[in-house]
Amino acid sequence: MKVTKSAYTPESIRNFINHFQKSRVLLSAFELDIFTILDKSAKTSGEVAKKIRADERATDRLMNAVVAIGFLEKRNGKFKNTKEASDFLVKGKPEYMSGLMHTVSLWQTWSTLTESVLKGKSVYQRPKTINNRDSRWLEAFIGAMHYRASRQAEEIVSKIDLKGVKKVLDIGGGSGAFAMAFTKAKKDVKATVFDLPNVTPITLKYIYENKLTNKVDTVCGDYNVDKFPKGYDIIFLSAIVHINSYKGNVKLIKKCAASLNPGGRIIIQDQVMNDDRTTPPGGALFALNMLVGTEEGDTYTEKEMREWFDKAGIKFEKRIETFMGNVLIIGRKKK
């Protein structure tokens, strides 16, 4: 498929490249909690600097830049949030974008892209597993995943036929957003979130907040090492296969197949690339996100996912497009 290219000029290329500056300004202000500090009343940059224990001049210049990009207003030397900043960037607000802290972390990995391309692998120094990550990073990561998943789970689950489904296993389910959506979609469905030992306590918090402790439970384990519990009608893999290598996914799908009831289904939700890997554009960029941020991750084509199914004795059933751009690839175990 031919990708349509825009006509760029040297000036437009320069402007395009410099967009990172605006992103960094907003992320730094968010990371320093400036929007939360300004929630109740307007303040001078000096007052804000004292609260965040930062240099006064530098804080002033940062806040001026936030005004310039449209997220703060400044009058008579005092700063206040714009409506958008107040709605989305203040801790405690219903629409607070807590997941932006994960984007702060991504800034670090993406800065290694050039070296990662030269080496052919991630060069970022990080703990080998999520289980070794510090709690601040982990809370931000799960929060980012929940922010996205909770806004799409209901609609995505509505596209899945739940006739005859009693038990769902959500592999690497994080906050449990999808597991909870399955139980809300059909009264007699119960779901299990399978995730790492330091993730499941966070999962339980989300389950408790949603008052679904009687319908959603957790099992601790590493999907690369541990066996899965058996007896499930659906095994759901949302944003999981892109973390692994091709061979790792062959092994994972075989484990899923062994955990399914006869006639049960494996449902992959992920970026699905066309065969030349140039579209969708978001998937092409996400492949680089996996290059810099994981040991073996990538984005994959439908053809590759069908191959995983074939190797596990799973028959490809259908492909379903979702409103968020991700795709559901569904396979069924023989009865």
How does pLDDT run across 172-193, given as a tens digit for each residue? Answer: 999 999 999 999 999 999 999 9
Per-position b or e across 128-163, b if 16+ CB within 10 A of its CB:
eebeebeeebbbbbbbbbbbebbebbeebbeebebe
Regarding whether 163 and 34 lie in a shared domain, the answer is no
Place of tokens 């384990």: 221
Domain-embedded: residue 102? no
pLDDT of residue 128 exceeding 60, the answer is no
Domain-embedded: residue 121? no
Domain-embedded: residue 319? yes
pLDDT tens, residue by residue, 301-328: 999 999 999 999 999 999 999 877 789 9
Name which of 141, 173, 184 is nearest 267 in CA terms.
173
Instruction: Assess whether the previous peptide bond of 280 is cis (omega < 30° from 0).
Output: yes
Regarding whether 307 and 186 lie in a shared domain, the answer is yes
Residues 216 and 204: their CA atoms lie apart, in Å, by 9
Residues 146 and 178: their CA atoms lie apart, in Å, by 9
- Which pLDDT value is given to residue 325? 77
Regarding whether 159 and 277 lie in a shared domain, the answer is yes
Name which of 198, 272, 216 is nearest 241 in CA terms.
272
- Which pLDDT value is given to residue 212? 94
When pLDDT is cut at 50, 70 and 90, the band that residue 5 belongs to is: low
Per the structure, how many domains does the chain have?
2
Domain-embedded: residue 272? yes
Q: What is the dihedral of CA 144, 145, 146, 149, to 10 degrees?
A: 130
Torsion 157-229-266-232 (CA) sign: negative
Regarding whether 233 and 317 lie in a shared domain, the answer is yes
DSSP string over 72-131? EEEETTEEEE-HHHHHHSSTTSTT--TTHHHHHHHHHHHTTHHHHHHHTS------SSGG
Cα 25 from chain centroid? 22
Which amino acid does the sequence have at 137?
Answer: W
pLDDT tens, residue by residue, 213-272: 999 999 999 999 999 999 999 999 999 999 999 999 999 999 999 999 999 999 999 999
CATH number, residue 305:
3.40.50.150
Residues 103 and 99: their CA atoms lie apart, in Å, by 7
- Paired residues of 73 in beta bridges: 80
Name which of 237, 266, 250 is nearest 334 in CA terms.
266
Which amino acid does the sequence have at 303?
Answer: K
Neighbours of 326 (CB within 10 A): 20
Contact between residue 72 and residue 80 where contact means Cβ atoms under 8 Å apart = yes
The H or E element spanning position 262 is strand 260-270
Regarding whether 163 and 62 lie in a shared domain, the answer is no
Contact between residue 149 and residue 177 where contact means Cβ atoms under 8 Å apart = yes
Domain-embedded: residue 4? no
Regarding whether 170 and 85 lie in a shared domain, the answer is no
Regarding whether 87 and 231 lie in a shared domain, the answer is no
- Domain boundary residue among 91, 118, 138? 91
Regarding whether 70 and 167 lie in a shared domain, the answer is no
Which amino acid does the sequence have at 211?
Answer: K
- Residues 39-52 have a mean pLDDT of 97
Regarding whether 195 and 270 lie in a shared domain, the answer is yes
When pLDDT is cut at 50, 70 and 90, the band that residue 131 belongs to is: low
Residues 191 and 193: their CA atoms lie apart, in Å, by 7
CATH number, residue 19:
1.10.10.10
Q: Which domain holds residue 256?
A: 153-333
- Paired residues of 291 in beta bridges: none
